[in-house]
Amino acid sequence: MNIESFTYYDATLTYYDATLAWHYPRRTVRSIAPMPSQPPSKPNFGRLEKIDVSQYWQSTADFAPWLVLDENIQLLGEAIDIPLVVVPDTEQRTDSPTTLLCRDTATQGWVLIDSQLSPTHEQHLSQLLSQGADIQASAIVWIASEFSPGHLAILNWLNQHTQKTLRFFGVEIQLWQIGQAAMAAQFNLVTPSEPATVLIETPPEPLDQQPLDPLHQELPEPELEPLTPEQEQNLAFWTQLCDQLEQRGSVVKAVTPPVTDQIDFAIGRAGFLLSAHLHRARLFLSIELQLLDEDAQAHYGLLLEQQGWLESQLGFALNWENPSAQSRCTIYCTKPDVNLDCAEQWPEYIDWLWGGLECFHLTFADLIQSLNADDYHAVHKNNPGMLNVLSLPS
């Protein structure tokens, strides 16, 4: 068998904006000369076995660090059909080690998650309801190894009798294995994906038994406010972008298009977001890497130290924004002279966003995985103002 090495470029985007062009990292692959055609051998079947979750996670304390990983929270989001992102530790508004606070990136609503590696019991349900009320959650997710019929009935009843803006999800965590192969985790939604509408026919009460107090009369369910023209435009624009990401098989995974002027994508690590932003008033688009948690300043400093290498990989200069004493830093690039009211220009804008998001993901995704805030603090602990001095103007 002859093996040879050759070099190729993943893709080259043919759109140029002034001096800005998207460049893709060069990679080397190995090609294998074709083998003589032989009938393909069929793999042997193995036995799919469900195993106890306690064989992998000894307690919820073991499960929680696994759940917050982006690929796992994305798996949960797919099970309940809500795009999820874990909020930074500084925004976690619960002290319980079994609960986790996330954002629905489509609506920006709070999603409260409670986990238990055991059959369901009332303590977790009452805790979820109490904390969900405190934060005004738009969705409550109860993860357990097994749900009792009574608790499923409660969740279904809540979905049938609460407003449509609040949903309750029951999700079973399962582990599977084929023979001695690696285990696979699965989130199994055990509550209906859409709440059933229950109609109960009852005879009318006599007039002398009907309550006269208006406080006892059932109020009509409030109607959802219609979208504003700006929100409708946002939704249409982000829908086109997500369609392009899916059609082109982008490394940036499409999400549910929001109605806001910003769309967020996972980039492989909690506390980091890859975003695209519409700036109507100032007539430009931006692609941003957002650093959001309590280590944002340190991570920003570590990335700033590699500014030259990063910009050489991307092929253009970046804007570095570091508001003093805030746990939010941004690294971004912009496209000027953008008018969303000119719909015939949308394909050009979508191409620019697609290419830029790809470049940001390919350049930053692996790098941010290796960042350690302690490395920055060890070097700069004697000069706390150094980071602000190094910041570049936008």
Domain spans, the chain: 3-31, 48-189, 229-390
Asked whether the predicted pLDDT for residue 241 surpasses 90, the reply is yes
Contact 170, 148 (CB under 8 A): no
Asked whether the predicted pLDDT for residue 11 surpasses 70, the reply is no
Asked whether the predicted pLDDT for residue 18 surpasses 80, the reply is no
The correct CATH number of 229-390 out of 3.40.50, 3.30.1460, 1.10.20, 1.10.260 is: 3.30.1460
Where would I find the beta strands (DSSP E) of the chain? 3-9, 16-17, 20-21, 26-32, 48-51, 84-86, 99-104, 110-119, 139-146, 167-178, 184-189, 262-265, 272-279, 284-291, 319-321, 329-336
Where would I find the beta strands (DSSP E) of 206-267? 262-265
Q: Mean per-residue pLDDT for 181-198?
A: 71
pLDDT at 204: 47
pLDDT at 305: 92
For 339-384, the pLDDT digits (tens) are: 999 999 999 999 999 999 999 999 999 999 889 888 876 666 655 5
Q: Mean per-residue pLDDT for 3-31?
A: 41
Residue 385: what are its φ and ψ, rounded to 5°? -90, 0
Asked whether the predicted pLDDT for residue 25 surpasses 70, the reply is no
271 Rama sector, left if φ>0, alpha if ψ -120 to 50, beta otherwise: left
pLDDT at 178: 76
pLDDT band at 215 (very low <50, low <70, confident <90, very high): very low
Type of residue found at 309: W
CATH assignment of 48-189?
Answer: 3.40.1340
pLDDT at 222: 53
Q: Mean per-residue pLDDT for 80-105?
A: 83
Asked whether the predicted pLDDT for residue 31 surpasses 70, the reply is no
Kindly state the percentage of the chain with pLDDT values over 70: 74
Asked whether the predicted pLDDT for residue 289 surpasses 70, the reply is yes
Asked whether the predicted pLDDT for residue 386 surpasses 90, the reply is no
pLDDT at 335: 95
Task: Say how far apart CA 124 and CA 130 lie, in whole Å.
Answer: 10
Averaged pLDDT score across all residues of the chain: 78
